[in-house]
Amino acid sequence: MKKYDVIIIGAGPAGLTAAIYCARYKLDTIIIGKTAGGLAGGSYEVCNFPSHKKIKGIELMAKIIAHVKELGVKINQEEVKEINKNKEFEITTDKEKYSARKIIIATGSERRKLELKKEKEFTGKGVSYCATCDAAFYKDKVVGVLGGSDAALTSALLLTKFAKKVYIIYRKEKFCRAEPIWIEEVLENKKIKPIFDSTISELIGEKKLEGVKLNDGKELELDGLFIEIGNIPNTYLAEKLGVKLDCENIIVDKKQKTNVEGVFAAGDVTNNPLKQIITACGEGAVAANTIYKELTHDTSMPQ
């Protein structure tokens, strides 16, 4: 069983940044995560990350991943099945077993589902949770986006590059969660038609999605539906370790420590209020710095 100073669970912005700092602190570190880049890699455009006025999510994550690898940190694409704590942490994945003195949980979140009949059946057959992944399949077709967040609006804008018509179905009377700049672009785009005060009550189709029924009974013919109604933090592993949550998120202090000794958390899985790539990176850096101080008993703030 290979032993490490730090094992980072999750390969999104928080985990990757934590690895960069751990490597610079000369801590023996490995990242274990199912998807290198995390959900951030599926972002259409990132426009609020310093040094990049505008960059595709997949491009930004590729740059950060390259930085991590240049520092000699391995990124193993495996799924963690179990974590046990004795004197150290024993981590079992679908492929290997590992041991660590400290762990950082940076497992991020997963797309929230509608929980409607046929949703699972139609996933990949008209229902999608990633416009960046699937937009090109809908050239000259009619699609819908459910949601009113930044993710929903940027997904709609991306889809206009392929689809001939894009509906945005949103439960409120106007867009209020997204950044004003995205709202402005959406409202000015002639391919996009918002449908406010509406939700989806039923998915229509036999072998694939053919349309949706709205809460007012009206039916809308669609070739595709992109669901962007938020995310659910991946806290399963943390809960099994006895880590405390505030409803859905891992509770951390200003040093990214949880209530369980040796367990840190960073990124979208924590109770910090702003869920952005830049804040996830910051939390990863803080977690790594705290671990460095604890392992070396250093009270200074290394640069």
DSSP letter string, the chain: -EEEEEEEE--SHHHHHHHHHHHHTT--EEEE-SSTTGGGGG-S-B-SBTTBSSB-HHHHHHHHHHHHHHTT-EEE---EEEEEESSSEEEEESS-EEEEEEEEE---EEEPP---TTHHHHBTTTEES-HHHHGGGGTT-EEEEE--SHHHHHHHHHHTTT-SEEEEE-SSSS--SS-HHHHHHHHH-TTEEEE-S--EEEEE-SSS--EEEETTS-EEE-SEEEE-S-EEE--HHHHHTT--EETTEE---TT-B-SSTTEEE-STTBS-S---HHHHHHHHHHHHHHHHHHHHT--S---
- Amino acid (1-letter code) at residue 274: L
Which pLDDT band, with edges at 50, 70 and 90, does 299 fall under? low
Is the separation of the CB atoms in 191 and 163 below 8 Å?
A: yes
Query: Is the per-residue pLDDT at 287 higher than 70?
Result: yes
Q: Cβ neighbours of residue 269 under 8 Å, at least 6 residues apart? A: 10, 105, 106, 107, 108, 109, 233, 234, 235, 238, 249, 250
For each of the domains in the chain, give its residue range(s) and CATH number, in order of start. Answer: 2-110+231-296 (3.50.50.60), 113-227 (3.50.50.60)
**Which whole number is the average pLDDT over 212-241?**
96
How far the first Cα of the chain sits from its last, in Å, is: 32
Residues 11, 32: Cα–Cα separation, whole Å: 7
Mean pLDDT of the region 68-74? 98
Distance of alpha carbon 28 from alpha carbon 73, whole angstroms: 8
CB of 296 within 8 A of CB of 33? no
- Grade residue 1 by pLDDT with cuts at 50, 70 and 90: confident
Instruction: Tell which wins on pLDDT, 118 or 42.
Output: 118
Report, in angstroms and rounded to the nearest whole number, the Rg of the chain calculated over CA atoms.
Answer: 21
Between these two residues, 43 and 65, which has the higher pLDDT value? 65
Is 169:214 a contact under the CB 8 Å cutoff?
Answer: yes
Using pLDDT thresholds of 50, 70 and 90, give the confidence band for residue 100. very high
- Active-site annotation, residues: 130, 133-134
Q: What is the pLDDT of residues 155-195, one digit of tens each?
A: 999 999 999 999 999 999 999 989 999 999 999 999 999 99
Query: How wide is the angle at C-alpha 12 spanned by C-alphas 7 and 14, nearest 5°?
Result: 70
Please enumerate in sequence order all residues whose Cβ is within 8 A of that of 274, keeping only pairs 6 or more positions apart, or say none: none
Q: pLDDT tens-digit profile of 118-131? A: 999 999 999 999 89
In this structure, what token pair is assigned to residue 267?
């990124």
The band of 303, judged by pLDDT with boundaries at 50, 70 and 90, is very low
Average pLDDT along the chain:
94
According to the model, what pLDDT value does residue 42 have? Answer: 82
Q: Which two tokens stand for residue 203?
A: 């998915």
d(CA 37, CA 190): 33
What percent of the chain shows pLDDT beyond 90? 86
Structure tokens at 274: 């702003």
Q: 300 falls in which pLDDT band (50, 70, 90)?
A: low
**Strand 249-250 relative to strand 165-169: parallel, antiparallel, unpaired?**
unpaired
